[in-house]
Structure 1
Amino acid sequence: MTASTTVLPTATQATTQVLAQAAESSTASTFQFLYFGLHGRGELIRTLLTYGGAKYDELALDWPGMKKDTPFGVLPVLYETTSDGTVLELAESQAIEHYLARKFNLMGANSWENHLVDRYYTSMETLSNNFIKVMFAPLEKRQTEAEIFYRDHLPRWIAAHEHHLTKNGTNGHYVGDQFSLADLKTAMMIERIQFLVPKGMEEQVAALFSAEATPGLWKVKETVNAHPHIAEWKKSERHTQIDAGTKGFFKF
């Protein structure tokens, strides 16, 4: 991943059929990612691109000047240039995540496995939305919001997901023995909770996840982080910069 220019790519204007054919037949797509210098809604997209071994640049962000030229006036936006030169403009974080997951074979091998991946992913999205209340809480109310999250939301989520992961053999995956979007989303969610810790709650958060307390979830996190592409990304200077940007933005 390298830095790029501030000029937004121009999406190819063509019929849905033409664009779909370009996307599905592309063997060497490159990507340009437009997002802030923090994790947030860009975290899983960066992880998916990394997992898939995709070549991608991060576009230098001039948000006031670029906002009007994005599909919905919000970030993230991802641009894919296919092997035949077609430029596809992808918008909305969950839609981008599912698009990349299908491209990198992370949605299961059949319709039932696709459903399983989707339902675990959706459950994690619900938890993420609850944690966002902690992230955006005013500093004087953050600990109160965190207590609600740790007490009312997280235990139910942990119990349900440990149950499903145990049924699948506690093998580091949600569905069968293959990587899926659900695996990557869970690993990201655990790390987000462990990374953004309100002051004075470090010991409480440290006890939430472990090989002993949450063996299924811990195994998923370990398995995802052991993937060579992801392990390299986590050690990169850019990842360290994004860590710092995230803590600075949310004042953790």
Structure 2
Amino acid sequence: MAPKYKLTYFNLRGLGESIRFLFFYGGIEFEDIRIEEEDWPKLKESTPYGKLPYIDFDGKRITQSAAIARYVAKLVGLAGKDDLEDLEIDSVVDTVVDIKDVQVPYYYEEDEAIKQKKKEIALKETLPQLLSKLDTRVKENGGYFVGGKLTWADFYFAGFHETINHFAGENVIGKYPHLQAVANKVYAIPAIKAWIAKRPVTDR
């Protein structure tokens, strides 16, 4: 029987990896559809809102990585215990998205002078502010982002942290021991460890 879920994303970790982590954590079979970046322009118009990743199931096609991850998290028992915890999780996830939004403009900037200026501001000002706040949050929450326990906020961060480092050009997460510990905990989960051992090798 074919998997119920089909996840479509670039042949990258990026915003798709946390969703893959959640599927593997829950033992939910899914089809991992990967497209090459050079093929994206001709596919873009056929996708919801012109964005990846998206997920297909039950005749529906839904986009936005955080929304998909939130849905899968509910399936696998990693959502919050109540509305307040869900709010806290969403706040952390939105902050990870903010980090991406800080990095993407300089990473894809073609003018080298502008690129370096944007990158310097990001690495010296914006990223340290956001990452230090997240690091403190983990420290104060028993080694996790929310409620002193594993939630999908931890998976969302862990799935994207290598891309943060790639965009930075250095192991910037390694400067924040509590954040690094969160990623390490997720990576040590047997199902995630097994996936990492066999997943396609990509630069981000």
Task: Identify the residue that residue 233 of structure 1 maps to in structure 2.
Answer: 195
- Larger relative helix fraction: 2
Cα distance in 2 for partners of 1:156, 1:64 equals: 35
Q: Which amino acid aligns with 1:233?
A: W
Q: Which amino acid aligns with 1:58?
A: D
Cα distance in 2 for partners of 1:189, 1:58 equals: 17
Matches within 5 A, 1:55-74: 55-59=29-33, 61=35, 67-74=44-51
Cα distance in 1 for partners of 2:139, 2:120 equals: 27
Evaluate the alpha carbon distance shift between residue 188 and residue 107 of structure 1 in structure 2; reply closer, same or farther with a 3 A threshold: same
SS at match of 1:217: helix
**Deviation by residue 1:4-52 (Cα, 9 ceiling, x = unmatched):** 9xxxxxxxxxxxxxxxxxxxxxxxx721122221233323222222222
Figure out how many residues of one structure are paired with residues of the other and give that number: 199
Task: Identify the residue that residue 173 of structure 2 maps to in structure 1.
Answer: 209
**Does structure 1 residue 153 correspond to structure 2 residue 117?**
no
Unaligned stretches of 5+ residues in structure 2: none
- Candidates 184, 189, 202, aligned match of 1:222: 184
Q: Which amino acid aligns with 1:219?
A: A
Matches within 5 A, 1:63-102: 67-80=44-57, 86-102=58-74
Task: Identify the residue that residue 6 of structure 2 maps to in structure 1.
Answer: 32
Cα distance in 2 for partners of 1:215, 1:227 equals: 19
Task: Identify the residue that residue 80 of structure 2 maps to in structure 1.
Answer: 108
Cα distance in 1 for partners of 2:193, 2:104 equals: 26
Q: Which amino acid aligns with 2:68?
A: I
Mean Cα displacement is larger for which, 115-124 or 177-186? 177-186
What TM-score, normalized to structure 1? Answer: 0.68
What is the deviation of 1:109? 0.9
Mark the structure with the bigger radius of gyration: 1
Amino-acid identity (%): 27
Cα distance in 1 for partners of 2:105, 2:34 equals: 28
Q: Which amino acid aligns with 2:108?
A: F
What is the deviation of 1:220? 0.5
Mean Cα displacement is larger for which, 92-101 or 57-66? 57-66
Structure with more contact order per residue of length (Cα contacts < 8 Å, sep ≥ 6): 2
What is the deviation of 1:67? 4.6
SS at match of 2:56: strand
SS at match of 1:239: coil
Task: Identify the residue that residue 192 of structure 1 maps to in structure 2.
Answer: 163
Cα distance in 2 for partners of 1:209, 1:66 equals: 33
Is contact 1:31-1:78 (8 Å) kept? Answer: yes
CA root-mean-square deviation: 2.6
